[in-house]
Amino acid sequence: MSKERRPIKWLLNWGWILMYAVIMSAAVLFITLMDREPIEDNSPEKITLTFRHFWLKEHDRPLLAIFEEVVQAYQLEHPNVKVNFEGLDQTIHREQKLKSEMVTGTPPDMFVLFGGAEIEPYVRSDRLMDLTDFAAENGLTGQFKDLQLWTFNNHIYGLPIEGNAEPLYYNKTIFEKLAIVPPTTLSELDTTILQLQNAGYIPFALGNEDRWPALIFAHYLMDRYAGPELIQKLATGGDGATFQNGDYVQAFHMLGRWIRQGAFSPGANDLSTENAVKLFTGGQAAMYLNGNWDINLFNGETAPADFENTVGVIPFPALAKGSEPSIAGGYTIGIGLSSSLTGAKREAALELMKAFYTKEVQTRIVYEGLRIPSMRLDFDSAKTGPVFAQVVELMERYNHSFVPYDNLLSPEVKKMFLGVVEEMIGRSTGPDQALADLQSASQQYWNLIRSTELQ
């Protein structure tokens, strides 16, 4: 064998030896892996949460932006969780969709809803998650101003996200031009309505497309004539309580008279809230009765420059001189969770709830959304604009408040309440018939409840 071929043979021999060693090592490794337990996959479970809100109106845009950002930040911190954050018209959500979903047990995982009588059937049928322990474990129980509308049998079934108040807004420029002093009693308000009409102004801008705005007038007049005790008896089935009583007759007849006089926007039942506000900000209407949630429509692109400085804020007038007027409002709007949530999905939903209920979010609700915080929070009302500052001052000055009646009455009676007031605004029914229909609905409801309890 020549010297030139010997290195090649040597290399080939070693190559076979190395290949053999690699094959044997791979075989040993394979056998070892086969003898071991499978490696556990510790990657987080992929979760999808459904969240339905009704922040679709123009005045809701700042609030929607806040919660969209919270959801986006949550998803970045929890890459395994996808939140389907979707909006639906409030009336469709409350009156149709959610009710049917609660019957079938298929509601969204999380949803915006109203506390009080509206959620009581959901609590009774065990469709809402009990948040009592969640609130306690996260130090939230004592942070809220009022959980009355969310508490049943000492258990919490939802958390309010904001508070609200329903004052009477008026155009100071128009009132000063006509030398009208802001009314403090119903008789003075009657006079104001006539003065405004004689001067060519619409007294009240009203957009009742969603049906509930007209109820604000009804429940204020009912409260002024009858006080707070009667509606509480009617809402709880008190014996002897009836909608067809002298005080409510007077209240509904006053509302009927205003309707006949043309005190409200023409075609109010077909008018949206946004278009009603435009009548107010445009100077055609002199007064506007609705919640503080509409304040952000008094400035920016939707209103004339500096219009917010022409807005005065007063309580809805009292029955007589010397009476302290109460203000409709409360902590009615909040978030609830489906009781069907379990396991990792339940924990993910509760983590998102924690992200919603923080001082930071509540502060943004005040300064960006111009909404009353539901949690105890110090804020500078001088930085919120002149209208919101007046609302806050009004709430501090008057200690008496009452929960809007549509949050007190059972869903069945509330539906009739909405219907008869809508018909009154449309002039298809009168005050006496409206109260008779309301009493009939209430009686049927309580008869059904009592018969069920006896079974």
Dist CA 73 CA 320 (whole Å): 52
351: exposed, middle or buried (Cβ count in 10 Å: 0-12, 13-18, 19+):
middle
Q: What is the pLDDT of residues 125-177, one digit of tens each?
A: 999 999 999 999 999 999 999 999 999 999 999 999 999 999 999 999 999 99
C-alpha span between 216 and 203 (Å, rounded): 15
In 62-74, which positions are buried (b, 16+ CB within 10 angstroms) versus exposed (e)?
A: bbbebbeebbeeb
pLDDT score at 42 = 52
The 8 Å CB, 24+ separation contacts for 445-453 are: 445/410, 445/412, 445/413, 446/237, 449/237, 450/237
Structure tokens at 89: 């018209």
- State how beta strands 311-314 and 151-152 pair: unpaired
Q: How many residues does the chain have?
A: 455
Q: Which residues of the chain have pLDDT under 70?
A: 1-43, 453-455
Q: What is the pTM of this model?
A: 0.85
Distance CA 39, CA 72 (A): 33
- pLDDT tens-digit map of 87-121: 999 989 998 999 999 999 999 999 999 999 999 99
Question: Strands 401-402 and 327-337, how do they pair?
Answer: parallel
pLDDT computed for residue 454 by the predictor: 62
Mean pLDDT of the chain: 90
Would you state the pLDDT for residue 435?
98
* Residue ranges in 147-264 assigned as alpha helix (H): 172-177, 186-198, 213-226, 229-235, 246-261
Please give the pLDDT value at position 300. 77
Helix axes 61-77, 343-356, angle to 10 degrees: 130
